[in-house]
Amino acid sequence: MGNRVCDALGIEYPVIQGAMAWTSMAPLVGAVSKAGGLGTLGSGFMPPEIILAQMAEVRKITDKPFASNLFIDPTPMLEPCVGAILEGKPAVAYIDSLNLLEYDFTKKYYDKFHEAGIKVVAKVNYLEDALVAAKAGADVIITKGFEGGGHVTKVSARVLLAEVVEALPDIPVVASGGIATPRQAAGLTVQGADGIEMGSAFMATQECPIHPNCKEAVVKATDRDIVAAGQSTGEPSWQIRNSLAEELIKLEADLPWSEAADKIREISQGSLRIASLEGDVDRGGVMCGQVAGLIHDIPPVEDRVVKFCKEWEELLKKQYSLF
Ligand SMILES: Cc1cc2nc3c(=O)[nH]c(=O)nc-3n(C[C@H](O)[C@H](O)[C@H](O)COP(=O)(O)O)c2cc1C
């Protein structure tokens, strides 16, 4: 029968590893792509020379397709990031946005990638964004729901997927947000998803180059341990509750939001690094989505791609009946 995501991106399994800033570095990306999924460099905040060096590292691991991330918002980061992707030519540009998509602006960048032979995967937070992305020529759309790791979005994963599948039957759609099990993936297939994306679940893998303490923190966390910090900045993110997250939440409760936002930016500066590289999971920021309670182990990446898809397909082959 074939799979529309695999066909569009030239991959074997319809599993995308979501971009994760300073987390989805070459060892993870290369391992996911080598296993047959789509690995994505968390390159949205990286200087161009690091993006190009990371792409070279991925290519030492595999010659299969991989993606590089950018945020299509009019910020000073955009042009250098686009330039590095056009120069490094990964198979796919994986495009997120912090604001609503504007058609002319979006089309201009999608066209640049397409002219360079690079496919466009658009990660959307609203149906409106999906419609703009499709009209501008996106090859694949990822619907990222509220519960997904990274920046907190607004619409639930279940609703957003259903909206996009209904409105855009001709474009491959990848469900994202809160996924860690083949049973969830099977349910999402029935709901119209052609593939799935996971971020948090890939943090807990042997090849992910973050500190072991971070991986253990993800495995230990339950749904009650995941909090949204940074509401006042307009860009809240899901984090594992620790003394840093408690401090950020208290600041927002105690101070007017404009003051809290400034303080939060100051305190959060470098906090990802403190957790991911130095392993201080109490004072560093451990970003992880609500799905933490379903992540129980730290397997090799291949299990999260190949074994996962085999179980997913087995579940779909079972005869289900309501009556
Ligand atoms: C630690 C972490 C960092 C993230 N950083 C980025 C990023 O830089 N760019 C981006 O597009 N998405 C980012 N995300 C979101 C992921 O790409 C993905 O959409 C999300 O994790 C999917 O939800 P899940 O964690 O429930 O699987 C990040 C997620 C996590 C957990």
Residues with C-beta less than 6 Å from any ligand 1 atom? 18-21, 23, 42, 44, 69, 96, 123, 144, 148-150, 176-179, 197-201, 287-289, 291
Length of the chain: 323
How far is Cα 251 from Cα 246, in angstroms, rounded to an integer? 9
Ligand 1 atom closest to Cα of residue 286: 1
Q: Whose CA is nearest to atom 12 of ligand 1?
A: 19
The alpha carbon of 320 and the centre of ligand 1 are apart by a number of angstroms equal to 33
Tokens of 43: 């390159």
Residue matched to tokens 């190009």 = 52
Token pair, residue 60, equals 């030492």
H helices present in 136-270, as ranges: 157-167, 182-190, 200-203, 212-220, 243-254, 257-268
Instruction: Output the residue whose Cα is nearest ligand 1's atom 14.
Output: 150
- Give the confidence band of 320 by pLDDT, cuts at 50, 70, 90: confident
pLDDT band of 1, cuts 50, 70, 90: low
In the chain, DSSP assigns E strands to 15-17, 39-41, 66-71, 92-96, 119-124, 140-144, 173-176, 195-198, 226-229, 237-240
Residue 140 Ramachandran class (φ > 0 left, ψ -120 to 50 alpha, else beta): beta
* pLDDT (0 to 100) of residue 235: 85
Atom of ligand 1 nearest to the CA of 45: 8
Q: For a pocket test of ligand 1, which of 15, 16, 20 has the largest count of ligand atoms closer than 8 A to its C-beta?
A: 20
Q: Calculate helix-pair angle for 48-61, 78-88, nearest 10 degrees.
A: 30
Read off the amino acid at residue 280. D
Please report which confidence band the pLDDT of residue 6 belongs to, taking 50, 70 and 90 as the band edges.
very high
Domain 4-209+297-317 CATH assignment equals 3.20.20.70: yes
For residues 165-193, give the mean pLDDT: 97
Please say whether the beta carbons of 138 and 120 come within 8 A.
yes
Whole-number Å distance, alpha carbon 250 to ligand 1 midpoint, is: 25
Q: Is the pLDDT of residue 231 over 90?
A: no
Q: Whose CA is nearest to atom 29 of ligand 1?
A: 150
CA of 319 from ligand 1 middle (Å) equals: 34
Over pLDDT 70: what percentage of the chain?
100
Would you state the pLDDT for residue 213?
98
CA of 259 from ligand 1 middle (Å) equals 27
Burial of 63 (0-12, 13-18, 19+ CB in 10 A): exposed
With CA atoms as reference, report the closest residue to 195 among 186, 207, 203: 186
What distance in angstroms lies between residue 136's CA and the mean position of ligand 1's atoms? 23
Residues 167, 170, 175, 181: what is their CA dihedral angle, to the nearest 10 degrees? 130
- CA-only gyration radius of the chain, Å: 19
Cβ-contact 141, 171 below 8 angstroms: yes
What is the pLDDT averaged over residues 92-103? Answer: 96
Label residues 180-201 b or e (16+ Cβ within 10 Å = b).
bbbebbbbbbeeebbbbbbbbb
Q: What is the pLDDT of residues 253-304, one digit of tens each?
A: 999 988 999 999 898 888 999 999 999 999 999 999 999 999 999 999 999 9
Q: Tell me: the pLDDT tens digits for 135-151? A: 999 999 999 999 999 99
Going by CA atoms, what residue is nearest to atom 23 of ligand 1? 148
Model pTM score: 0.97
For the sheet with 119-124, list strands across it: 15-17, 195-198, 173-176, 140-144, 119-124, 92-96, 66-71, 39-41
Domain residue ranges of the chain, discontinuous segments joined by +: 4-209+297-317, 212-292
**Spacing, Cα 148 to ligand 1 middle (Å):** 7
Residue of 153, 200, 208 to test ligand 1 pocket, by largest number of atoms within 8 Å of CB: 200
Distance between CA atoms of residues 19 and 32, nearest Å: 12
Q: In angstroms, what CA-CA distances link 241 with 178, 219, 233?
A: 17, 13, 18
Whether the Cβ atoms of residue 247 and residue 267 lie closer than 8 Å to each other: yes
In this predicted model, what pLDDT tens digit does every residue of 65-91 receive, in sequence order?
A: 999 999 999 999 999 999 999 999 999
Give the nearest ligand 1 atom to 44 CA: 8
Q: How far is the CA of 149 from the centre of ligand 1 (A)?
A: 5
